[in-house]
Amino acid sequence: MKQNSIIAAITLSHHKVPHSGEAFIIEASNEEEQYTLMQDIAKALKADVVKLSNGIFILIG
């Protein structure tokens, strides 16, 4: 069984992410850009997406 891991996190400037490990952290300038980046990157990587309660999108693959 394949183990999933976080590929990327798409944040806004007010989000504080202290350590990303191996995941890419992508900072969008606004929520519209954040959503567009999430869709484009998730599609390209065939990743699953989770929106956290704080507004950060994480891509899992």
32-61 mean pLDDT: 96
Q: How confident is the model at residue 1 (pLDDT cuts 50, 70, 90)?
A: low
Whether residue 13 lies inside any domain: the answer is yes
- Render pLDDT for 26-37 as a digit per residue (tens, 0 to 9): 999 999 999 999
Q: Are residues 47 and 38 in contact, defined by beta-carbon separation less than 8 angstroms?
A: no
Structural domain range at position 42: 6-60
Q: Is residue 23 part of a domain?
A: yes
Mean pLDDT of 10-24: 84
User: Quick check: is 1 in a domain?
Assistant: no
DSSP 55: S
Q: What is the pLDDT of residue 12?
A: 95
Q: pTM for this structure?
A: 0.86
